Amino acid sequence: MASPEEFIEFATVVSPRLRRTAFLLCGDWYTAEDLTQATLVKVFTSWRRISRKDAAGSYATRTLVNTYLADRRRKRVSEVLTDTLPERPVQEHTPEMRVVVLDALATLPPSARAVIVLRYWSDLSVEQVAAMLGCSEGNVKSQSARALDKLRVLLGDATVEDGRVGRRHEMNETIGGASDE
């Protein structure tokens, strides 16, 4: 699995998924693109060491989450945070709920947001999320429970069902699974 051509094929296939996951983590398409590019650079530098083709996607996702968390730990004094989003073209097919869900996700701390995105967007098990984040299963469960409680308060009972923030296909549609911008 060491050829550059195989990496190009891999990156072409996995980039949209990584970009959407990065967007869910950071809430900004431009930052998501930067995170995706940084992730692909890191994966490329390790490409020769990835021995199983089926593990490359998981490795890339873990690298993305680690890159996001490391970036959030650094102080960003040059960025000014506001409570309003920049104007974007309105798309008729975009549900209004998308903004509500993204705003609610933005209120979560980075590690809790990573847990929610990996558990309920990427549909990973508690064990997989714990392994990916390098923490205990209990930590994943407690962060998930606290984050879901916070989302329940912010979103109301209509969008939080059975301990999951909607169902994956509903969240996919809400977040914009078909479009990256």
91-181 matches 1-80 in CATH topology: no
pLDDT in tens, 140-167: 999 999 999 998 888 775 444 444 444 4
Report the C-alpha gap between 17 and 149 in whole angstroms.
27
Topology of domain 91-181, CATH: Arc Repressor Mutant, subunit A (1.10.10)
Give the closest residue to 86 by CA, choosing from 34, 127, 27, 144: 27
The CATH code that applies to domain 1-80 is 1.10.1740
Helix (H, G, I), strand (E, B) or coil at 166: coil
The residue extents of the domains of the chain are 1-80, 91-181
Radius of gyration of the chain (CA): 17
pTM above 0.85, yes or no: no
Tell me: the pLDDT tens digits for 51-68?
777 788 989 999 999 999
Q: State mean pLDDT over 26-37.
A: 91
Structure tokens at 29: 């398409």
Tell me the C-alpha distance between 123 and 125, whole Å.
7
Residue 78 — pLDDT band, cuts 50, 70, 90?
low
Of the chain, the percentage scoring pLDDT greater than 70 comes to 75
For residue 81, the model assigns a pLDDT of 65
